[in-house]
């Protein structure tokens, strides 16, 4: 869940504590971008941790009334974020989905530091192309993700919970990560 080791010496003064949540529809590249953001932070000597929120809620079965297991995700995030902060991570990079403004405050409370949200945006047909490749051979899983992509895209367009948007069309993962850092002011 953390990126590769960075330089031997951290910067003279770590940046102010903060968390970045990369949001977007399924297939937008959140997890891949988070890993690349972590690599860029390591290159700059910024103490950080990368957390894929899907992994914090991956269990089965989901309880009634919480199909995406947000309660489990938040409980685990609170614990994981506290450990990473205690161990010196000044920046937390999260990959997940944030669907509404009310949830934003809950996630900020869970990480215990100011939260910035950046949405990765890609047209639904391009998302579906990515999903076709990712879930080839699993027709039921593919059908669910293809449907969810359009549904979630509409939810995120309406919710506007993000502080910044990065259009990812035609960009390589490292380019998306660099664009995210620029968009949220984490370049230095």
Q: 144: burial class by Cβ within 10 Å (0-12, 13-18, 19+)?
A: middle
In angstroms, the CA 150 to CA 157 distance is 11
Question: Which domains, ranges and CATH numbers included, belong to the chain?
Answer: 18-184 (3.40.50.300)
**So what's the pLDDT on residue 91?**
98
- The fraction of the chain above a pLDDT of 70, given in percent, is 93
Asked if residues 130 and 145 have their Cβ atoms less than 8 Å apart, the reply is: no
Q: pLDDT by residue (tens digit) across 4-55?
A: 555 545 556 778 999 999 999 998 999 999 999 999 999 999 999 999 999 9
In angstroms, the CA 165 to CA 179 distance is 10
**So what's the pLDDT on residue 11?**
56
129: phi then psi, degrees, rounded to nearest 5: -60, -45
Would you place residue 83 in the very low, low, confident or very high pLDDT band (cuts 50, 70, 90)?
Answer: very high
């Amino acid at each position: 869940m953390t990126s590769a080791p960075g330089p031997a010496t951290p910067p003279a003064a770590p940046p102010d504590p903060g968390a970045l949540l990369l949001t977007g529809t399924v297939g937008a590249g959140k997890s891949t971008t988070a890993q690349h953001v972590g690599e860029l932070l390591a290159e700059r000597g910024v103490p950080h941790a990368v957390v894929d929120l899907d992994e914090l809620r991956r269990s089965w079965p989901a309880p009634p009334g919480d199909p995406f297991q947000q309660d489990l995700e938040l409980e685990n995030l609170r614990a994981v974020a506290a450990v990473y902060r205690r161990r010196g991570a000044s920046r937390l990079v999260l990959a997940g989905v944030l669907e509404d403004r009310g949830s934003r405050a809950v996630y900020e409370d869970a990480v215990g530091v100011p939260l910035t949200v950046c949405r990765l945006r890609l047209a639904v047909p391009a998302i579906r192309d990515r999903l076709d490749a990712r879930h080839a051979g699993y027709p039921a899983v593919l059908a669910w993700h293809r449907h969810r992509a359009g549904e979630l895209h509409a939810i995120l367009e309406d919710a506007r919970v993000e502080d910044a948007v990065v259009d990812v069309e035609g960009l390589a993962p490292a380019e998306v990560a660099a664009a995210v850092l620029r968009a949220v002011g984490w370049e230095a």
